[in-house]
Amino acid sequence: MGTVEELRREGCRVVVVDGRRVGVISVGEEFFAINDKCPHMGASMCAGSLSGTLVAAAPHQYEYGLDDRVIRCPWHGWEFDLETGRSLLEPKRSGLRTYPVTQRDGDVVLHA
């Protein structure tokens, strides 16, 4: 897959596993892996942006949260939780497949 240092520098690396594009994303000390194809129209999720979003804090109140845990599709702005892969708009209907990632001896290991 690559070294921890390489992936942190790149931010996101796309690899092909059994014919599927998987994006491995570096966030601080953690790594996440998701299907790199947006379920809406197929854009590369690694070409999108990583940020947070507004979350409900109380009835009719929102605050910024999920910092660096939301990946946004570059084409239409669909947002997905990086940890669960679920869509923020329709979590029961849409999402990205996620894969476990570990670090071993300075390397990032994708378990797909």
Domains identified in the chain and CATH numbers: 2-110 (2.102.10.10)
Tell how far CA 65 is from the center of its chain.
Answer: 16
Determine the pLDDT at residue 55.
Answer: 87
Q: What is the pTM of this model?
A: 0.91
Residue 40 tokens read as: 């809406």
The answer to whether residues 99 and 22 touch, using CB atoms and an 8 Å cutoff, is: yes
Residue 78 tokens read as: 């669909």
Determine the pLDDT at residue 1.
Answer: 81
Between β-strands 107-110 and 79-81, what pairing exists: parallel, antiparallel or unpaired?
unpaired
Quick one: DSSP state of residue 112? -
Nearest 10 degrees: Cα torsion 95, 46, 69, 42: -20
| Average pLDDT of the residues in 68-78 | 96
The answer to whether residues 2 and 59 touch, using CB atoms and an 8 Å cutoff, is: no
